Structure 1
Amino acid sequence: MEGDNYYVHNQETGKLNVYTTKAFYDGLADDQKKIFSRFCLWSRVQGCWISKGKAEGCYYLREQIKALGFVNKGEVGERITFDEQVARTQERAEYRAERAEHRADKAEQKSDQLYNTAQKMASVIPFGQPILVGHHSEQRDRNYRNRIHNTFGKAFEELDKGKHYREKAATAKETAEGKKYSNPEYLTNRIKECQKHLRILDRRLNGKLYPNSPEQEISEQARQFYNNRIAEENEKLEFFKGKMKAINPAWCEPSVSTRKIKGKKNTL
């Protein structure tokens, strides 16, 4: 049904939630399905597609799903601070780590069971006993040895699966513990990134595309958008600066870099 195809701007995540039905999705052509798989991720929890990027940058995705008949139903949820976003990300990562650890334990346990089973099966065959070609037991012996081989193979597959989930758990744990927020290099890069974004947004707010561009009038909608983005970037900047000062109380915010353009000093 047409009313089942719509999208909303999730204020909490800052992303687009795209809702549709399985019947509608299955009826799409392959190139149309790729729009979703390329720009979105499916969430079983929320029962919808979630944009990979922030809603503000999903212009192409919006246009494509509008062409498919999707309706914009506005915004849902309430905007949360960057600090709260980080806390929620860490909370979800902790859950992912626990789930991955559980799956790793199950895979390793199953691997041990299969390996022990294969060893017991192999112990029945005397060491060095060949297949008696032409004997009435030849085919049965071959089948039995194949089952041993396959059981060993399944054991190693489960072992690899366990390693895979251990690695996922380790990555999720790092996110949950916020290890990157104690890395000075990471924090320095994020601070510089925020400062760069703020300079660009400030220019956009003044109607300037480039540093030396003439100022132009912008719409009230654009002004509100840039002001909101500036507030978000300032939140992030203060968060990263706070983390940096926590690990290095003597840290001072670097001065804004400058460069010469046509003989003049211009702030980047």
Structure 2
Amino acid sequence: MTIEITHTRRAGTLIEGTSRGDGSAAILGLREYGRTQRQRFRWSRNLDCWYLPHSRDHATYTPSLERLAQRLRDAGFEVTLTIDNADRRSFSEAEKGREEKADSRAERFGGYADNAARNSEAAWRSSHEISERFAFGQPILIGHHSEGRARRDHERMDNAMRKSISERDRARHWADREAAAANYERFRKDPGRTLRRLDKLRADLRAVEKWQSGQSAKGFSRNPADPELEIEHQELTEEIAHWETVIKDAEARGFKIWSKSDFRRGDFVHHRGTWYEVLRVNPKSVTIPHIHNGTGRRIVRATDNRHDGWTWTVPYDDVSGRKSADEMQQQQPQAEAA
């Protein structure tokens, strides 16, 4: 059979046409030290083929796949290689797919955690039932006809308790993974994190536009005729639009986007549970007394800086509130009492 290696942004890198025992697994299991591919191929029972993890929604590094195809040919296989980096799914479609997979993982991990918890409880009960024989401190009677049984009971009791502890640890492990998967969407759509992501994406888009116009960006240049640049431009534009919608939804629910126009020197900014006096207002942040001054305190003024005048900057996406100097003066007694 012919081994078919295909790559699209929509499906990722897939390898079909292999069979068990044909020798291809030894080649596909090797690491490919290309520019982007640094993982082994894995077998998927759902896809019924080999796949390269994390290759979806990305362009492939063609020389790596060409070297892989040549290694397979050298081993006696007939190989075809097809690469289409233009075939892709929209960012919103890809993000929805990731959220659905996270939900599926959360459900699966929850099942694992429940099973492990039941196994732990059953093992504990088994150990407890055996221990009832020794509830009043009955020792093992050396030389008595009950010695063999008593030693076996002790061993069974010990094994059951060890299994109970092991299964309890497994239950905690899968419960933690369930929580992480369940929080995937909330983590991704956190407004502060989304604003930081948007800043990076916009910078990347500006770089792509410079490369398309023949300029240098990020310290190097690219061929303006490279078709990959147009695809990257489309992807970045879609992703920026998606996250801008997320921010608009957050604003509709009451989220505040802070900026330079919201602050002036002498105001107070709420940062991670503490109010700090604003020492300076910058384009993307405010300068405050060093956060070490906030240990165990609810309000930190400029005069409270006990660390040789050290300062700290708080980006606007990490601000959770603002008060004027007058408002803070009126509320300081209550805040300090709290």
Q: Could you tell me how far 1:128 is from its partner in structure 2?
A: 1.6
User: What are the ranges of 5 or more consecutive residues in structure 2 without an aligned counterpart?
Assistant: 73-78, 261-282, 284-338
Q: Could you tell me how far 1:229 is from its partner in structure 2?
A: 0.9
Give 1:189's aligned residue.
Answer: 196
Residue pairs, 1:248-263, within 5 angstroms? 248=251, 251=257
Q: Could you tell me how far 1:153 is from its partner in structure 2?
A: 1.1
Give 1:124's aligned residue.
Answer: 133
Flag the structure with larger Rg. Answer: 2
Determine the C-alpha separation between the residues in 2 that align with 1:212 and 1:114: 62
Which has the higher mean CA deviation after the structures are superposed, 203-212 or 118-127?
Answer: 203-212
Letter in 2 for 1:10: T
Instruction: Find the residue that maps to 1:17 and give its secondary structure.
Output: strand
Structure 1 residue 152 corresponds to structure 2 residue 161: yes
Q: Could you tell me how far 1:37 is from its partner in structure 2?
A: 8.1
Give 1:46's aligned residue.
Answer: 47
Which has the higher mean CA deviation after the structures are superposed, 128-137 or 148-157?
Answer: 128-137
Instruction: Find the residue that maps to 1:131 and give its secondary structure.
Output: coil
Instruction: Find the residue that maps to 1:56 and give its secondary structure.
Output: coil
Letter in 1 for 2:236: E
Q: 1:61 to 1:42 in 2, by over 3 A?
A: farther
Structure-1-length-normalised TM-score: 0.77
Determine the C-alpha separation between the residues in 1 that align with 2:142 and 2:25: 55
Give 1:239's aligned residue.
Answer: 242
Q: Is the 8 A contact 1:12 1:79 kept in 2?
A: yes
Determine the C-alpha separation between the residues in 2 that align with 1:145 and 1:118: 9
Determine the C-alpha separation between the residues in 1 that align with 2:218 and 2:173: 48
Corresponding residue to 1:96 among 81, 92, 105:
105
Give 2:210's aligned residue.
Answer: 203
Which has the higher mean CA deviation after the structures are superposed, 40-49 or 224-233?
Answer: 40-49
Q: Is the 8 A contact 2:216 2:222 kept in 1?
A: no
Residue pairs, 1:1-268, within 5 angstroms? 1=1, 3-4=2-3, 6-13=4-11, 15-19=12-16, 20-24=18-22, 28=26, 33-35=30-32, 38-47=39-48, 48-53=50-55, 55-59=58-62, 61-69=64-72, 70-75=79-84, 79-175=88-184, 178-210=185-217, 218-219=224-225, 222=226, 224-248=227-251, 251=257
Letter in 2 for 1:158: E
Equivalent residues, number: 245
Q: Is the 8 A contact 2:9 2:85 kept in 1?
A: yes
Give 2:322's aligned residue.
Answer: none
Identity %: 20
Q: CA RMSD in A?
A: 3.3
Q: 1:171 to 1:152 in 2, by over 3 A?
A: same
Q: Is the 8 A contact 2:8 2:59 kept in 1?
A: no
Offset from partner CA, 1:112-159 (integer Å, 9 cap, x none)? 112111111111224222222344443432222111110111122222
Q: 1:239 to 1:27 in 2, by over 3 A?
A: closer
Q: Which fold has the larger relative contact order, with Cα–Cα distance below 8 Å and residues 6 or more apart in sequence?
A: 1
Instruction: Find the residue that maps to 1:121 and give its secondary structure.
Output: helix
Q: Could you tell me how far 1:58 is from its partner in structure 2?
A: 3.5
Q: Is the 8 A contact 1:203 1:211 kept in 2?
A: no
Offset from partner CA, 1:19-60 (integer Å, 9 cap, x none)? 34342456626x953449825454331122233245425346
Determine the C-alpha separation between the residues in 2 that align with 1:199 and 1:73: 31
Determine the C-alpha separation between the residues in 2 that align with 1:104 and 1:120: 24
Q: Could you tell me how far 1:239 is from its partner in structure 2?
A: 1.0
Instruction: Find the residue that maps to 1:149 and give its secondary structure.
Output: helix
Instruction: Find the residue that maps to 2:137 and give its secondary structure.
Output: coil
Q: Could you tell me how far 1:183 is from its partner in structure 2?
A: 1.7
Q: Could you tell me how far 1:187 is from its partner in structure 2?
A: 0.6
Q: Is the 8 A contact 2:7 2:60 kept in 1?
A: no
Q: 1:39 to 1:27 in 2, by over 3 A?
A: closer
Determine the C-alpha separation between the residues in 1 that align with 2:214 and 2:45: 42
Higher helix share: 1
Q: Is the 8 A contact 2:59 2:85 kept in 1?
A: no
Determine the C-alpha separation between the residues in 1 that align with 2:22 and 2:214: 42
Q: Could you tell me how far 1:85 is from its partner in structure 2?
A: 1.3
Q: Is the 8 A contact 1:11 1:75 kept in 2?
A: yes
Q: Is the 8 A contact 1:17 1:51 kept in 2?
A: no
Q: Is the 8 A contact 1:207 1:216 kept in 2?
A: yes
User: What are the ranges of 5 or more consecutive residues in structure 1 without an aligned counterpart?
Assistant: 258-268
